Amino acid sequence: MKWTCLALIAVGLAGWASPTPAHAVPPTATPSPGYEARLQEQRAAQRTPLPPAVKPRRVKRTRAH
């Protein structure tokens, strides 16, 4: 029991006092120039204004007698 507690404390202190923090980054996080260019083209195309929407015409209803 005494050795187990000492081992856990030692592991905890070693992890807490480690000089280099862990930085987990997936390998796909590096941006590729081709993908960035396509994204910029797509965003530029989305910025173009659309023509205003045409409202539907209202039809006057007549009463059926």
pLDDT in tens, the chain (65 residues): 678 878 878 776 666 555 666 666 666 667 778 888 898 898 888 877 777 788 878 888 787 76
Total number of domains constituting the chain: 1
Is 62 inside a domain boundary? no
> What is the spatial distance between Cα 23 and Cα 35, in angstroms, rounded to a whole number?
24
> What is the spatial distance between Cα 61 and Cα 63, in angstroms, rounded to a whole number?
7
Is 53 inside a domain boundary? no
pLDDT given at position 26: 67
Is 34 inside a domain boundary? yes
pLDDT given at position 17: 57
Domain residues for the domain of 20 are 1-46
DSSP state of 55: P
> What is the spatial distance between Cα 37 and Cα 53, in angstroms, rounded to a whole number?
31
